[in-house]
Amino acid sequence: QVQLVESGGGSVQAGGSLRLSCTSSDTLYNFDYISWFRQAPGKEREGVASTDTFGEATFYADSVKGRFTLSRDSAKRTIYLHMNSLKPEDTAMYYCATLRRAPRGGTWFDWSAYDYWGEGTQVTVSS
């Protein structure tokens, strides 16, 4: 059973930065996709950023493109989400999720397809 643990959330002023971490109990190489999703109260879960097995490709939601960046430390089984120029609308619970085997034709932000989820880390951005 794969377990994912997120950390790094907190409260910041608009324009500030945070770095979220997602540490997996399993090697990152066992996942086709590793992604971050977020969900704000009263809103649907949305994809934020996603990367493939070896970090060769990444995909970012338009709302965070240019502000958020993924990185990894495979030896530590950890994916990082660097969040810069944070906005109040970034306020949400952020979840790490992994997909062992992506379905053919699947999209990176199809949250229903993901196998494993962390419990989330809260990010709050004040005006």
Q: Work out the pLDDT band at 70, boundaries 50, 70, 90.
A: very high
Percent of the chain past pLDDT 90, that is, above it, reads 90
pLDDT score at 55? 85
User: pLDDT (tens digit, 9 = 90+) per residue, 10-38?
Assistant: 999 999 999 999 999 999 999 999 999 99
**Interior angle at CA 22, CA 3 and CA 59, nearest 5:** 115
Mean pLDDT of 40-58: 93
Amino acid at 1: Q
